[in-house]
């Protein structure tokens, strides 16, 4: 069994309802079954629908692919996650997605997972929390820089009394 066979035949991966791409040369090839959210009306198989087109239609996915390729080139272990983003799905409905880059037997895979409607209200909160986590050390440093001169001025005022 080859790595691509394990992806195309695995019932385990179907549980995650994700779109799985294998990097092949300069592009990507879809592996496994299409997730329930992916095919447009009328498409019932991989031969009727070309999910690879999705990779070129999404500005965010094009950026994600560049970051994933950098991660694959770095030979790091584990997985790389894009974080959540939202954009219209193939049906035109607003949806929340996450891309995951992984390497199996030196073969790069990009997995795109869609989160349910219950995640849509949570996504802005997660994004804000992530931004605040990033900015917190900077805000703390700015606060300390402002506080130090005020403390010195207060000490001088106290001494002058």
Using CA atoms, how far residue 24 sits from 11, 107, 157, in Å, is: 23, 9, 71
CA 61 to chain CA mean position, Å: 9
The tens-digit pLDDT sequence of the chain (161 residues) is 344 444 444 566 677 788 888 888 888 888 877 787 775 544 544 455 566 667 777 778 888 888 999 999 998 888 999 888 887 766 677 778 889 999 988 899 999 988 876 665 666 776 677 677 767 777 778 878 887 777 777 778 778 77
Contact 144, 136 (CB under 8 A): no
Q: In Å, how far from its chain's centre is CA 90?
A: 18
Regarding the domain delimited by 3-117, which CATH topology (the fold level of the hierarchy) does it fall under? Answer: Beta-Lactamase (3.30.450)
The distance in angstroms from the start CA to the end CA of the chain is: 85
Specify the pTM.
0.61
**What are the residue ranges spanned by the domains of the chain?**
3-117, 121-161
Please list, residue by residue across 49-65, b when 16 or more beta carbons sit within 10 angstroms of its beta carbon and e when fewer do. Answer: bebeebbeebeebeebb
Q: What pLDDT does 134 receive? A: 67
Q: Are 142 and 135 in contact (CB under 8 A)?
A: no
Q: Of the candidates 33, 109, 95, which has an alpha carbon nearest to the alpha carbon of residue 58?
A: 95
């Amino acid at each position: 069994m080859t790595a691509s066979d394990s992806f195309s035949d695995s019932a385990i991966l179907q549980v995650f309802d994700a779109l799985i791409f294998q990097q092949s040369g300069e592009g990507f090839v879809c592996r496994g079954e299409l997730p329930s959210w992916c095919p447009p009306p009328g498409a019932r198989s991989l031969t009727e629908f070309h999910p690879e087109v999705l990779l070129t239609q999404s500005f965010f996915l094009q950026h994600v692919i560049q970051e994933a390729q950098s991660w694959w080139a770095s030979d790091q272990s584990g997985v790389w996650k894009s974080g959540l983003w939202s954009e219209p799905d193939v049906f035109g409905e607003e949806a929340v997605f996450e891309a995951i880059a992984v390497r199996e037997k030196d073969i790069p895979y990009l997995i795109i997972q869609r989160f349910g409607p219950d995640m849509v209200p949570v996504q802005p909160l997660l994004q804000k929390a992530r931004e605040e986590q990033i900015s917190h050390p900077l805000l703390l440093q700015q606060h300390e820089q402002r506080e130090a001169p005020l403390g010195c001025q207060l000490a001088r005022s106290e001494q002058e009394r």
